[in-house]
Amino acid sequence: MSAPANDTCIEFDNVLAGYGEFMILNNLSFKAKRGKITLLLGPNGAGKSTVLKAIFGLTKMRSGAIKLDGENITGASAKDLLVKHGIAFVPQGRNLFGQLSVYENLELGGITLGMKTTHERIPEVLEFFPRVKERMHSLASSLSGGEQKQLEVGRALLLRPKVLLIDEPSIGLSPMVVADVFKLLRKLADQGTTVLMVEQNVKSALKMADEAIALESGRLVLHKRADELLADPNLERIFLGGAHAAPAPSAASTV
Amino acid sequence: ADAIRITSIQELSGTGATAGTNFKNGMALAIKEINASGGVLGQKIDVTFADTQSNPGVAKGLAQKAVDDDVFAVFGPGFSGSILVSMSETRRAKIPNFTGGEAASVTLQGNPYVFRTSFGQQTSMPKAARYMVQNLKAKTVAVIYVNNDFGKGGRDMITKSLEIMGAKVVADISTDPGKLDFSAPVLQAKQSNADVIFVYTNEEEAARCLRELKKQGVTKPIFGETVLTGQKVIELAGDAANGAQAHIGLSVDAPVPTMRAFRARFEKAFGYIPDHNGIKGYTSVYVMKAGIEKVGKVDRAAFAKAMQGLSVSAAKHPGVLMDVSYNDKGDLDRESFIVEVRNGKQEVKEVLPALSKK
Amino acid sequence: MNDFIQLLLSGLASGSIYALAALGFTLLWQASGTINFAQGEFVMLPAFMMLAFSSLGLPLLLSFAFTCFVAVIVLGWAFKRGLADPLLKFGMMPIVVATLGLSIAMKNGIRAGVSAEAFPFPSLFGDTVLHLGSAAITVGDLGTLAAALLLVLATQAFLNKTVTGRAMQAVAQNTDSATVLGINVPRMIFYTFAINALLACAAALLVTPAYLAKFDMGEGLSTKAFFAAIIGGFNNSRGALLGGVIVGVSENLAAHYVSAAYKDAVALVIFMFVILVKPQGLLGKKVERKV
Amino acid sequence: MINRNVIAGAIGLAVLLAVPPFLKSYGIYLFSYWLVYVIANMGLNLTVGYAGQKSLGHAAFFGIGAYTVAILMKAGISFWIGLPLAMAGCFAIGLVLGFPALRVQTIYLAFATLGFNTAVWLVMRNEEGLTGGTYGINGIGRPEFFGLSLEGSLAFYYLILGATILLGALMWGLLRSPWGKAFTALRDNPIRAESLGINVQAYTLLAFAIGAMYAGIAGALFASLVDFIEPGPFAIGTSFMMYLMLVVGGPGYFLGPLLGSAVGVLLPEWLRFAQAWYLFIFGVAVVLLMLWLPDGLLSLPDRLKARRQAREASAARAAAAARVGGAQ
Amino acid sequence: MSPVLKVSKLKKAYGAIQAVGGVSFDVRPGEIFGVIGPNGSGKTTMFNSVLGQITPDEGQIELHGQSIAGVSPQKLNQMGVGRTFQTLQVFGKMTVRDNLLVAAQEHHGSMFSRMFAPGDSGNGAKADALINQFRIAHVADKKAGDLSYGQQKLVDIAMAFMSDPALVLLDEPCAGVNPSLVGGLSSLLKELNQTRKSSFVVIEHNMDFVMDLCHRIMVMVEGKVMAIGTPAEIRANKEVLDAYLGS
Ligand SMILES: Nc1ncnc2c1ncn2[C@@H]1O[C@H](COP(=O)(O)OP(=O)(O)OP(=O)(O)O)[C@@H](O)[C@H]1O
Ligand SMILES: Nc1ncnc2c1ncn2[C@@H]1O[C@H](COP(=O)(O)OP(=O)(O)OP(=O)(O)O)[C@@H](O)[C@H]1O
Ligand SMILES: [Mg+2]
Ligand SMILES: [Mg+2]
């Protein structure tokens, strides 16, 4: 394969995508670098989750292309994305099989690996989430909110993905676990995994990320190195209340 | 000339579908024959078939439609509830209405426009009861019936008739339409130690009941009315049908040459052997033909009047298959048979004369 | 006592018939979250297919094999493509009504296209009568009971003990997550309906000798199967057997010891009792309500 | 949008008022039969479509209404006394049937109500002294209305039409009030509803009771219309059919029952030209309708509207995005 | 002054898991009370017990000095207790505006009078105000189920405030909410707390939010209370640092 000798891993090229006729991403283009953690930031409803879902074909794309290492993966099946391209995805919200046990949920997470490998890796992953390990044979729906999130993250890590798409992992996690998860993601990235992560926990996330992309109304408004952004005196204004506190007509700013 | 338009309202779907379809096919065959041989008084018969879905509410609408269409006669429906509803419509419009329904109530309304195509239960059950008491020496009888208007009506009538004959019903066993497992009813019948077991259900249930009777080794005589020894039941019950006896008004296996010929024609046309409902449908059209020809013109009022006391002989009108006569209430009378199943075949043991011939 | 044994044995026999039909319900519920109101017709159709193959002179088991093949295509694949795929995402109501429509179409299609009559159906095991004291049972009844037991346990084991089985359940519980994990959702759905079709064929083979092949044989069968599945537990395949046997035995005992006219009421009372006291069924596992 | 509804309503009403006098008795009968089902299905729409209680026992109430009036009229008691009694009876029994709904939901509730229907049917069939058993009740007759005979089919049709309009208006008012929202909230998320002070018990019971009352009224009219009742039309098959009509028409749409009942009652009549195959075609038609509009016929305007709104929202979002400009 | 909410020795076990193992605390009038603790420490279970969503095994719960054991969630709401949920709980098929309207209507008039009340039961203006406050005006006519995670979360929170509750229990209100709105939420709670003397109990993992907002904080670990104190005390508590806050 003659991948261009650059460091772009994921590329959105003029992507127009949405739900039914409602277009959320308006000709969005951006690149995420290989082996780096790229943060997706933006107000609620900006379209961050839609970006990740588009990669996995969960939102319909009308035009544009999504590329991985230069190869067009628009419309690829979830199985191909997982197996061929090594992409794993932790969506936002509830994604467990509530009527199956914790262990069974993990097993299904490894269904593309084959059961032998999966069974080998499960203990490793569980080491990292002791709370979940304790509840291995409980129904997934009986876990607490944070325990469920941990299980979801663990289920994705089982795959040892080359690319990890992760949507607001910090939701529901206690601060220490958040720190642990961030540390782990950092380590994965340092080992070569490309991470594309959505976060509202802006400050902590910026501290561990490499790059940051900000969306508004489905469009790219900013793409900077994370440390630059963190140092930006405008950060407070842009993300932590300033910009939106201004009486801009809300329909214009966040439709 | 104009065609004689008639409407046939039958149970073509739902619980009554088997009976209704047979009736319909019988009619269709008769009409085809009649039209092929020049029609009635030179007029062809033009029939519309309609399905009540075995639902009286629908039947009523269809009867109104027939009235709106100003047809010469209405045939059906067969379910007693449905015919009661629809015949009040046809009566209001003075349209003759033939029915395959056997419930006693049909001809008890004093409706001069309604005519049966077979015995009502008030005719057949006494005959059956008499045979059980006189020939099978029954003092006690167990009655297994299906709990719908057909079965319930028969059960009420046989109970009454048996009482009049001095026999007693010692087990009164209701079963549901579509019943699968007859072990409990049969067990109950067995325990009652009755001299005769009288079975009055629809075809499939009759077959299941016969099988269970065999399985539980019941040796008492098993008697029925029409359905029990029907061709279909024999086919469905297999060996278990052997030995069952019944009084039947109409049977394709009756030792009557016209009947045999009809059976052959029907089987050729539809690929299966008709049951008594097929005969009812077939003969009813020929009865109408005979009635019209007797009047000499196509006139509903005159026809209805002529039907009262009408006698049709099979010799003159082969299509009626057997001699038949009507009284002033719309009930009919003809010979009937006692049959027994032997080696998977209905065999006539006795021919009972028409009531009027006694 | 002998009466009791007779009733019990016969009840077991019809109970296993109900269980076979109920098994399809529990399978579809666990693996696709739907209820198929045409399930009775899914048994009726293979029965007619087998008769058709038999009338070509094929032996029963060969007819059965051919029927299985056709059923997997028609009741499995075509059903999935035609109804399940487009409708599953809209929730319960549309698929329930579509299967109601399908049931009307299948019933009346057979009635209009084949016959309104009932047809006898050969029994796989024959109907030699065995005697236990004064109670009688046929070999066919025993065979049906054994087959029901076998099929129930096999289905249960497949669903809960194999990864594929669990993946099928996962699809029913959360389709999007299943997709994201790389579970081949369309294939799992196909498996579900294909297995359902095979179970229907097996049920047809075992049930029709008693039920007789008739266009409306599915009606009575599916009502009883509903009751059986609820009593035993909708989310548990073993429940189908337990429920079927309870319905079969209780209605027999009731017909004898209570009142024939109200015999259905006894199964009904058990059914209502179970629904109100243990809605998940006797063997079902409780669905957590988590807020 | 309201305007369009009003216009559609006015046209519909004009047709219902003006057309039947030109029909023969079969046509009038079909219209009457259809409206009876419309009334029953309005009730079911409240219970199932709005309040989300999966009921498969509606035909039982239909039957209870019919038998109440039939038995009373046979005993010489006026329809106008029988009707309120039927309503009250159905309302009360509906309340009672609501109780299982407080314990179980979804399919479990569906089967509980199905069981209830079977039980009612068994009583109708077996309590011969009261209900006539399988023979049913014949010659029920039709009421007078302030001295006006409703014996004629057209007169009785107008009574049914009047009832439909009145009950429709009441339902409309109910659904527009906070009750309507409470019912919908109950359907969507009972746990959340409860925590917002919505009396889940009361609304669930009322959804059943009012729905049952509508079925009772429909049943009373049905008994008089057909003049004969037996247990058959009130068995679970009818409950299934009613559910089918509701969903095909559009559950949770006010006019859903009107269209749904037309599909369930009028479509088979219209298909009769297909002879033996007409019910097969009907079944296939139902499947196709579901495939086309899974949320019912009346979801079509909504679907078009949603599409238009989505396009507008897209445009607005694109405009906003353009204004945001950005780093591209 | 008697406490608004008083919980004593609350216990709830699921099989072998003691989710809540004897928790006692009280919430004073006009207080914002924070609850923090590691995942699975029983916070949500404690909430659900207080709110009548589940039945605790043991313990007393009093609202304004009156026991509310066994009182249904609906009654509690009528008594002026509002709540939000950790998991998204909106009316997905209703519009955002209807979500808010339905959240307040049961607090006006009787059941019977509501049958004839106008559809918005007189709460339209209030709903619109909250919609603006939470910056969801542009999606006010969309079905709540079609919103993004954060937007749904905001709808859920807004609903809890529609009926002017005297006590609100919030379960992780900030999760998934954009930082710009987290500040807004914080000021809203403070404002309501000051102007209307409403009390709040807030479960939250966002420490900036909790430390800034709450008067007192309770730390739960393994179903037990580890500490209760002012933000400063909690921040200084060595045990808490180890068990929960880290660093
Ligand atoms: N299923 C859906 N149908 C229609 N519109 C949707 C759907 N899901 C999301 N949207 C709309 O798409 C837009 C973007 O949603 P998305 O979930 O991508 O936002 P987000 O940036 O992830 O927000 P958050 O931070 O709240 O998670 C929102 O305006 C939302 O209303
Ligand atoms: N229905 C249940 N069945 C079994 N265990 C349960 C159930 N509900 C909760 N638990 C267990 O009880 C413990 C406490 O759960 P709870 O939801 O109260 O935690 P929490 O403090 O809210 O955690 P988080 O911060 O992750 O939301 C957890 O270990 C959870 O797994
Ligand atoms: Mg998101
Ligand atoms: Mg929690």
| Residue E135, number of CB atoms within 10 A of its CB | 21
Sheet containing strand A60-68, strands side by side: A22-33, A8-19, A60-68, A71-72
DSSP-assigned beta bridge partners for residue D304 = none
User: In the structure, what pLDDT confidence band is assigned to residue C290 with cuts at 50, 70 and 90?
Assistant: low
E190: amino acid identity, one letter: K
Provide the residue range defining the domain that includes C152: 2-219
Q: Last residue of a domain, which of A143, A160, A177?
A: A160
User: In the structure, what pLDDT confidence band is assigned to residue D2 with cuts at 50, 70 and 90?
Assistant: low
DSSP structure string for C40-72: HHHHHHHHHHHHHHHHTT--HHHHHHHHHHHHI
In this structure, which residue's CA is closest to atom 17 in ligand 2? A144
Provide the residue range defining the domain that includes A54: 8-86+161-252
SS3 B162: helix
How many inter-chain contacts (D to E, CB under 8 Å) are there?
93
pLDDT of residue A93: 84
SS3 D138: strand
User: Looking at the structure, do residues D307 and D289 belong to the same domain, yes or no?
Assistant: no
Q: What Cα–Cα distance (Å) separates residue B9 from each residue in B17, B79, D238?
A: 12, 11, 21
- How remote is the CA of residue A147 from the centroid of ligand 2, in Å? 8
Please return the burial class of C133, using the count of CB atoms within 10 Å of its CB with bins 0-12, 13-18 and 19+: exposed
* Percent over 90 (pLDDT), chain C: 59
Give residue E92's region: left, alpha or beta (phi > 0; psi -120 to 50). Answer: alpha
Q: Does C58 have pLDDT greater than 70?
A: yes
pLDDT of residue D69: 96
User: Looking at the structure, do residues D112 and D77 belong to the same domain, yes or no?
Assistant: yes
To test the ligand 2 pocket, which listed residue (E12, E14, E51, E83) has its Cβ within 8 A of the most ligand atoms?
E14
Is D12 inside any structural domain?
no
| Residue A167, number of CB atoms within 10 A of its CB | 24
To test the ligand 1 pocket, which listed residue (A23, A26, A50) has its Cβ within 8 A of the most ligand atoms?
A50
User: Looking at the structure, do residues D259 and D322 belong to the same domain, yes or no?
Assistant: no
Q: What is the pLDDT of residues B231-249, one digit of tens each?
A: 889 999 999 999 999 999 8
Nearest to A149 by CA among C239, E40, B133, E222: E40
Q: Under 8 Å CB-to-CB from C49, ≥6 apart: which residues?
A: C63, C66, C67, C70, C71
pLDDT along chain E (247 residues), means of 10: 90 92 93 94 94 92 92 92 92 94 88 83 89 88 92 92 92 90 87 88 93 94 93 89 77
* Percent over 90 (pLDDT), chain D: 70
**Token code pair at residue D213:** 């009352």
d(CA E100, CA E124): 9
d(CA D171, CA C209): 51
The domain tally of chain A equals 2
Contact yes or no, B with A (3+ CB pairs under 8 Å): no
Provide the residue range defining the domain that includes D200: 23-295
Please check whether residue C5 touches B, CB under 8 A: no
User: Looking at the structure, do residues A121 and A177 belong to the same domain, yes or no?
Assistant: no
Between B141 and D134, the higher pLDDT residue? B141
Q: Does C125 have pLDDT greater than 80?
A: yes
Please check whether residue D196 touches C, CB under 8 A: no
Q: Last residue of a domain, which of A117, A145, A160?
A: A160
**ipTM rounded to 2 decimals:** 0.92
Across the interface, do D324 and A253 touch by the CB < 8 Å criterion?
yes
- How remote is the CA of residue A215 from the centroid of ligand 1, in Å? 12
User: Looking at the structure, do residues D126 and D214 belong to the same domain, yes or no?
Assistant: yes
CA atoms within 13 A on the CB side of C230: 31
pLDDT of residue A245: 36
Nearest to C253 by CA among C1, C4, C2: C4
Q: Which chain E residues have a beta carbon less than 8 Å from that of D201?
A: 74
Among the partner-chain residues C117, C252, C261, the one whose CB lies closest to the CB of B183 is C252
User: Do E158 and E177 meet the contact criterion of CB atoms below 8 Å apart?
Assistant: no
Q: Which bound ligand lies closest to the C-alpha atom of E36?
A: 2
User: Looking at the structure, do residues A199 and A212 belong to the same domain, yes or no?
Assistant: yes
- How remote is the CA of residue E148 from the centroid of ligand 1, in Å? 3
- Unique residue bearing structure tokens 């309604």: B114
User: Looking at the structure, do residues D194 and D69 belong to the same domain, yes or no?
Assistant: yes
Mutate which of C4, C115, C117 to test chain B, going by most B C-beta atoms within 10 A?
C117
User: Looking at the structure, do residues A119 and A220 belong to the same domain, yes or no?
Assistant: no
Across the interface, do C6 and B17 touch by the CB < 8 Å criterion?
no
Q: Under 8 Å CB-to-CB from D25, ≥6 apart: which residues?
A: B64, B67, B68, D153
Please return the burial class of E1, using the count of CB atoms within 10 Å of its CB with bins 0-12, 13-18 and 19+: exposed
User: Looking at the structure, do residues D278 and D328 belong to the same domain, yes or no?
Assistant: no
d(CA E159, CA E151): 12
Q: Does A4 have pLDDT greater than 90?
A: no
Window from A3-17, A145-159, B165-179 with minimum mean pLDDT: A3-17
Average pLDDT of the segment spanning D70-97: 95
SS3 E176: coil
Average pLDDT of the segment spanning B280-298: 94
Query: For strand A37-41 and strand A211-216, is the pairing parallel, antiparallel, or unpaired?
Result: parallel
User: Looking at the structure, do residues A106 and A226 belong to the same domain, yes or no?
Assistant: no
Q: How far apart are the first and last CA of chain E?
A: 38
Is C129 inside any structural domain?
yes
Give residue E15's region: left, alpha or beta (phi > 0; psi -120 to 50). Answer: left
- Unique residue bearing structure tokens 């107008």: D158
pLDDT of residue E77: 93
In this structure, which residue's CA is closest to atom 1 in ligand 2? A142
Nearest to B92 by CA among B78, B80, B109: B109
Window from B67-81, C117-131, D185-199, E106-120 with minimum mean pLDDT: E106-120
- Unique residue bearing structure tokens 């739900």: A19
Q: Does B250 have pLDDT greater than 90?
A: no
Q: What is the pLDDT of residues C131-168, one digit of tens each?
A: 887 788 889 889 999 999 999 999 999 999 999 999 99
Q: Which bound ligand lies closest to the C-alpha atom of E151?
A: 1
User: Looking at the structure, do residues A43 and A79 belong to the same domain, yes or no?
Assistant: yes
User: Looking at the structure, do residues D230 and D316 belong to the same domain, yes or no?
Assistant: no
Pocket of ligand 1 (CB under 6 A): A 19, 22, 24, 42, 44-50, 92; E 139, 146-151, 176
Is D4 inside any structural domain?
no
To test the ligand 2 pocket, which listed residue (E23, E44, E51, E226) has its Cβ within 8 A of the most ligand atoms?
E44
User: Looking at the structure, do residues D264 and D313 belong to the same domain, yes or no?
Assistant: no
d(CA C39, CA D251): 24
Task: Find the CATH number of the domain harbouring A218.
Answer: 3.40.50.300
Q: What is the pLDDT of residues D229-255, one digit of tens each?
A: 999 999 999 999 999 999 999 999 999
User: Looking at the structure, do residues A155 and A166 belong to the same domain, yes or no?
Assistant: no
Across the interface, do C214 and B204 touch by the CB < 8 Å criterion?
yes
DSSP structure string for E98-166: HHHHHHHGGGSS-HHHHTTS-TTTT-HHHHHHHHHHTT-GGGTTSBGGGS-HHHHHHHHHHHHHTT--S
- In eight-state DSSP terms, residue C257 is H
Consecutive H or E run containing B288: helix B276-295
Please state the pTM of the whole predicted model.
0.93
Q: What is the pLDDT of residues C162-205, one digit of tens each?
A: 999 999 999 998 898 999 999 999 999 999 999 999 999 999 99
Is C117 inside any structural domain?
yes
pLDDT of residue C291: 63
User: Looking at the structure, do residues A118 and A154 belong to the same domain, yes or no?
Assistant: yes
Q: Does A204 have pLDDT greater than 60?
A: yes
pLDDT of residue E1: 64
Sheet containing strand B45-51, strands side by side: B45-51, B4-10, B73-75, B97-99, B114-116
Query: For strand E199-203 and strand C135-138, is the pairing parallel, antiparallel, or unpaired?
Result: unpaired
User: Do D36 and D218 meet the contact criterion of CB atoms below 8 Å apart?
Assistant: yes
User: Do C77 and D273 meet the contact criterion of CB atoms below 8 Å apart?
Assistant: no
Phi/psi for A48 (5° steps) reads -65, -50
d(CA B229, CA B182): 18
Is C55 inside any structural domain?
yes
Nearest to E67 by CA among E21, E20, E6: E6
Please check whether residue A123 touches E, CB under 8 A: no
Is D8 inside any structural domain?
no
Q: Which chain C residues have a beta carbon less than 8 Å from that of D243?
A: 96-97, 100
Window from C98-102, C260-264, E109-113 with minimum mean pLDDT: C260-264
User: Do A105 and C181 meet the contact criterion of CB atoms below 8 Å apart?
Assistant: no
Consecutive H or E run containing B60: helix B56-68
D73: amino acid identity, one letter: M
Q: What is the pLDDT of residues B202-212, one digit of tens each?
A: 989 999 999 99
- Unique residue bearing structure tokens 């009250």: D88
Q: Which chain B residues have a beta carbon less than 8 Å from that of D276?
A: 12
d(CA C103, CA A224): 61
Is D303 inside any structural domain?
yes
Is C236 inside any structural domain?
no
Average pLDDT of the segment spanning A179-191: 93
pLDDT of residue C1: 65
C222: amino acid identity, one letter: S
| Residue B293, number of CB atoms within 10 A of its CB | 15
The domain tally of chain D equals 2
Query: For strand A163-167 and strand A22-33, is the pairing parallel, antiparallel, or unpaired?
Result: unpaired
DSSP-assigned beta bridge partners for residue B351 = B337
Q: What is the pLDDT of residues D266-321, one digit of tens each?
A: 999 999 998 889 999 999 999 999 999 999 999 998 889 888 888 888 888 888 87
User: Looking at the structure, do residues D80 and D121 belong to the same domain, yes or no?
Assistant: yes
User: Looking at the structure, do residues A75 and A50 belong to the same domain, yes or no?
Assistant: yes
User: Looking at the structure, do residues A23 and A107 belong to the same domain, yes or no?
Assistant: no
Distance from CA of E236 to the nearest CA of D (A): 36
Is C50 inside any structural domain?
yes
Query: For strand C135-138 and strand C129-132, is the pairing parallel, antiparallel, or unpaired?
Result: antiparallel
- Unique residue bearing structure tokens 């079925």: D215
d(CA E128, CA C235): 44
User: Looking at the structure, do residues A176 and A223 belong to the same domain, yes or no?
Assistant: yes
The domain tally of chain C equals 1
User: Looking at the structure, do residues A192 and A132 belong to the same domain, yes or no?
Assistant: no
What dihedral angle (degrees, nearest 10) is formed by the CA atoms of D29, D30, D31, D32? 50
Task: Find the CATH number of the domain harbouring D259.
Answer: 1.10.3470
- Unique residue bearing structure tokens 């923090």: E36
Is C254 inside any structural domain?
no
Average pLDDT of the segment spanning C98-107: 96
d(CA B298, CA B74): 14
Please check whether residue B273 touches C, CB under 8 A: no
Tell me the domains of chain E and their CATH numbers: 1-80+165-247 (3.40.50.300), 92-164 (no CATH)
- In eight-state DSSP terms, residue D328 is -
Across the interface, do C260 and B184 touch by the CB < 8 Å criterion?
yes
User: In the structure, what pLDDT confidence band is assigned to residue A254 with cuts at 50, 70 and 90?
Assistant: very low
SS3 D231: coil
Distance from CA of D124 to the nearest CA of A (A): 42
Where does chain C show beta strands of DSSP type E? 129-132, 135-138
**Token code pair at residue E31:** 């207080």
pLDDT of residue A250: 35
pLDDT of residue A246: 34
Q: What size, in residues, is chain E?
A: 247
User: Looking at the structure, do residues A244 and A119 belong to the same domain, yes or no?
Assistant: no
Phi/psi for A70 (5° steps) reads 85, -15
Is D9 inside any structural domain?
no
Question: Residues 74 to 103 of E: which have CB under 8 A from any C CB?
Answer: 85, 87, 89
User: Do B17 and B9 meet the contact criterion of CB atoms below 8 Å apart?
Assistant: no
Peptide bond into B255 cis (omega under 30): no
User: Looking at the structure, do residues D129 and D78 belong to the same domain, yes or no?
Assistant: yes
Average pLDDT, chain D: 91
